[in-house]
Amino acid sequence: MSRQSEDNNTIKHDSFTVKKKREEKIIFHYDRNERLSMPAAPRRDSMKRGIFKGNRSLLILLLDIIVILILMFIFFRFLNRPSYKKTEQGFQFELEAFPYADNILVSLYVKKTGKAGKSLDKTFKVEFYTSTSSENRETLNGSFPLEPEKETILRSKLSWSGRDETVTASITIGSKVVVLKKNVKKK
């Protein structure tokens, strides 16, 4: 508690005295023993509990990691569609290709998803070919599965040069063309 003396030049507080001379600087008188006899102020560190309350940079780092993981999930789940799998006109097409000796074994799986159009042709044409050779082509005709969750599988064999190649399946459904690609790597 502070008190002002009658001459208006001295202010007394519990732990210090301020003396003011006319038109001069204020001079502080400090008594260390009085200050030490007073109870200590609570420390800020002792009031903070938990991992993140005491370390803001750790909290910011954790939030950055969470944001990056969410963005990666969105990218891989919704934006990065595989080139070997597509859904078109109610049918799911999936291309698989594997090297075997001097050949590439190619399989095309066609599955009805339940949303297939009724005015759709019952057949489709598939042309398999590799990226390096224009003569290395195989053309097949297939029929769509009529029941949901049933599959039609078309298999073919293409010659392989032994290098990394891309196998392409060009599927013609009426006037629409669906293209699937799968990489075949040398082991």
- Amino acid 68: pLDDT: 95
55 vs 93, which has greater pLDDT? 93
Domain ranges across the chain: 1-40, 85-184
Interval 100-111 mean pLDDT: 86
What kind of fold does domain 85-184 have according to CATH? Immunoglobulin-like (2.60.40)
Interval 111-123 mean pLDDT: 66
With a CB cutoff of 8 Å and minimum separation 6, the contacts of 161 are 132, 133
- Amino acid 162: pLDDT: 76
What is the H or E stretch that residue 140 is in? Answer: strand 137-143
| Bridge partners, 147 (sequence order) | none
In single-letter form, the type of residue at position 73 comes to F
Q: Give the tokens for residue 115.
A: 């949303």
